[in-house]
Structure 1
Amino acid sequence: MRFGMFVPQGWRYDLVGIDPAQHWQTMHSLAEHADAPDSVWESMWVYDHFHTTPVPSQTEATHEAWSLMAAFAASTSRVRIGQMCTCMSYRNPAYLAKVAATVDHVSGGRLEMGIGGGWYEQEWRAYGYGFPSIPERLGRLREGVEIMHQAWTTGSATLDGTYYQVDGAIVQPQPVQPGGIPFWIAGGGEKVTLKIAAKYASYTNFTGTPEEFTHRSEVLRAHCENLGTDFEAITRSSNFNTVVGVDEADVARRLAVIEARLTPFLGAEKAATLMAENYHSPNAAVGTPSQVAAKLAERRELGLGYAIHYFPEAAYDRSGLELFAAEVVPALR
C-alpha cells in the first residue's frame, strides 16, 4: 500500500488560532516533513476549495490550491504533489492544462492531477459560478479531461463541446512526465465518473463502506472491459480522516481536542455532528496503530492500493502523524 498526506490549508478549520502571517510557514514545515528523504509519504495533497466547511467563515483562511501547488513544487524536491480534487468548473480546462504543465516543470515532474465535478454549492454561488445540475457538472468534467489529455499528449487541444469550446489551444511546454500528468478521477458515480476514470485515469479516488468500495470497483472493471482499457493498471485510492493514539484513552483525548477547536466556529451541536460524520464513519481511520492498520489491511484486501490521510491535528501536533508513520505504515508494508 502507498501513502499520501494532506497538508492543512484552512479549509477544514485546521489553521485556526495560528496567525495568518504564519500560515505559509506552518504549511511549508509540514511539506518539508513529507519531503524528507526518509519519509514514508509518497505524496502530499491539498483540497481545491475557497470557503471553509461546513460553515463558510468570514474571517478564517482557506488558501488556494493551485497557488499552493506552485509554491510546493518550488520548495520540495522528492514528494509528489496533488489536489484532491480540483473542481473542473472553477477554471477553464485549457488554462488549467497550461497551469498544470508549468507546475509540473517547476516540480521536476512530480505533479498529480486530481479532478472531479465539484459539490460545494455555497462556494460555487458566492464566486459567481452558479450551481449547474449534476449531469452538467459531470459533462464539464468529461469534456475538460479530454481537453487536458489532448493538451498534454499533443501540445494543443481542440474541442467543440457542449460546455467548452477550444480551437487549437497551445500548451507548450508539455508536461515533463511522459504521457502527461497522471489523472486521479475523484468520485464514485457509476454511470459517468467511473466511465471517465476507465478511459483516462491512472488512479481513482472513492470511499464508502467495504461493500460500496467493492461494488464501485466492479463497476469500474465493467467500464474498462467495455472500453478496452486495463482495469489492473488503475490504482484505486481512498481518503481517510485519521486520528491515531497510543491507546484508546489517547485517541479519545485527541478527538476531544479537535472538537473543542471546532466548537467556537460551528457551535456545539454542529461540531458534534461533524465529529460523528468524519471520525466515526467508513472514511475514518481512528484508533490505536493496530486498529487503524487492521482497517487499512481490510481495504487492501479489497483492492485499495493508495491511502491518503487527513490528520486534523497536523498544524498543532505532529505526534499522531508520526505515530502513524512509525507503526501503521510498517504494518502494511
Structure 2
Amino acid sequence: MRIGIQIPRFTSAGSPEHIGPAFARTAREADQAGLASLWVMDHLWQIEMVGATEEPMLEGYSALSYAAGVTENITLGTLVTGAVYRHPGMLVKGVTTLDVLSGGRAWLGIGAAWFEGEARGLGLPFPPTAERFERLEETLQIAHRMWSGDESPYHGRHYRLERPLNSPASVQRPHPPILIGGGGEKKTLRYVAEYGDACNLFDGPDLERKLDVLREHCADKGRAYEEIEKTALTLVDRDSSVDRVVDACGRLAELGVDHAICTGLTDEQGAAAFLGRVAEQTADITPVGR
C-alpha cells in the first residue's frame, strides 16, 4: 500500500513570511520519509470543514511547483482541481509543465468543483451542477487529446480548441495519471471508468459501495477495474498513533484501496515523519484484488 499526505492548512507557520519555509520543510520531510504522494487542495479560500474561511490558503499549482523544487521523488497533485476554475488548455499545459520540471512526478487531480462561495467571491465561473459536470467531461477529453499529441480541433459544447498543441510533451507516458475525485455514482465514477487512472473517495461507511459502483461502471465501459488506482482520503488527527493509522490502512486495503492519502494536522512539524513510519509498516500490505 502507498501512503500520501495532503496538506489542507497553512496555519502552523504563524505568519505569511513563514509559510514558505514551513511548507518546504513538510514537503522535504514527506519526500525523505518515503511517502508516495503530496497533495494540496485546489482552493483559494479555506473550506469550512477544515477551518475558518479567512485562514491562509495557497493557490494549488504555485504551491506544487514550489514543492517540486525542494523534493526529488514524491509525486505531486491537487485534491482536486475544480474543472471550471481554469480553461482546459491552460490546465493541461500547467500540469504538463509541473510534470516536466519535476522530472515526471505530476498528477492531474480533478473534479467538478463545489465551493460556490469561493468562486462567487473571487469572480470565478461557477455554472449550475449539470454544466459543471459537462465541462469536467470535456476537460477530461481535452486532456487525453493534448497528451496523446492529437492536434486536431476540439469542438465541444463548452470549449473550442482549434489546435490543442502541447509541447513539450509530459515526461510521464502516455501522460500524468488522471485522478478524478468524488463519489457521485451516476457521473463521477462513470468518468473514472471512462477517462481516469485513479479515483479518490472518502474513507467512510459507504466506501465499499462506491467501489462496487465503480466496478460496475468499469464493466459497462469494458475497462478492467484493476487498472484503476483506488485512493482514499483518511483523517489523521491529534489523537492518532502509528498503530492506529496502520490499522486504518489495513482496513482500506481489505476493501481494495491501493493508496491512502492522509489529511488532518499534516502541516505541523513532524507530521510527515510520523506518516513515514506508517509507510514503513504498510509497505508489505497488498490491497485485495492486487
Higher helix share: 1
1:244-283 matched pairs, under 5 angstroms: 251=239
1:222 to 216, 219, 237: 216
> In the alignment, which residue of structure 1 is the partner of 2:257?
304
Q: Does residue 117 in structure 1 map to residue 68 in structure 2?
A: no
1:94 to 57, 66, 89: 89
1:118-267 matched pairs, under 5 angstroms: 118-154=113-149, 156=151, 158-210=153-205, 212-243=206-237, 251=239
Instruction: Give, in whole Å, the separation in 1 of the partners of 2:237 and 2:21.
Output: 23
More off after superposition, 230-239 vs 122-131: 122-131
Q: 1:202 to 1:17 in 2, by over 3 A?
A: closer
Q: CA deviation at 1:153?
A: 1.1
Q: 1:217 to 1:174 in 2, by over 3 A?
A: same
> In the alignment, which residue of structure 1 is the partner of 2:245?
292
- The number of residues matched between the two structures is 281
Instruction: Give, in whole Å, the separation in 2 of the partners of 1:331 and 1:236.
Output: 16
Q: 1:29 to 1:323 in 2, by over 3 A?
A: closer
Moved over 6 A (4+): none
Q: 1:229 to 1:29 in 2, by over 3 A?
A: same
2:18 to 14, 17, 22: 22
What per-residue deviation string (whole Å, max 9, x for no partner) do you get for residues 12-49 of structure 1? Answer: xx41561211111100011111122xx23011111100
Give RMSD over aligned pairs: 1.9
Identity of aligned pairs, percent? 29
TM-score by length of 1: 0.79
DSSP 3-state at the match of 1:124: helix
Q: CA deviation at 1:176?
A: 0.8
Q: CA deviation at 1:163?
A: 1.6
> In the alignment, which residue of structure 1 is the partner of 2:287?
none
Q: CA contact under 8 A between 1:197 and 1:204: conserved in structure 2?
A: yes
1:325 is aligned with what amino acid?
A: G
List gaps (5 residues or longer) in structure 2: 285-290
TM-score by length of 2: 0.90
Instruction: Give, in whole Å, the separation in 2 of the partners of 1:70 and 1:332.
Output: 28
What per-residue deviation string (whole Å, max 9, x for no partner) do you get for residues 270-305 of structure 1? Answer: xxxxxxxxxxxxxxxxx3333332222122111111
Q: CA deviation at 1:158?
A: 3.0
DSSP 3-state at the match of 2:47: coil
Instruction: Give, in whole Å, the separation in 1 of the partners of 2:96 and 2:278.
Output: 37
Instruction: Give, in whole Å, the separation in 2 of the partners of 1:96 and 1:148.
Output: 9
What per-residue deviation string (whole Å, max 9, x for no partner) do you get for residues 126-171 of structure 1? Answer: 1223532221111111000110111011153632112212111211
DSSP 3-state at the match of 2:164: strand
1:315 to 264, 267, 275: 267
Q: CA deviation at 1:219?
A: 1.3
Q: 1:218 to 1:129 in 2, by over 3 A?
A: same
> In the alignment, which residue of structure 2 is the partner of 1:66?
61
Q: Please identify the structure whose Cα radius of gyration is greater.
A: 1
Q: 1:168 to 1:215 in 2, by over 3 A?
A: same
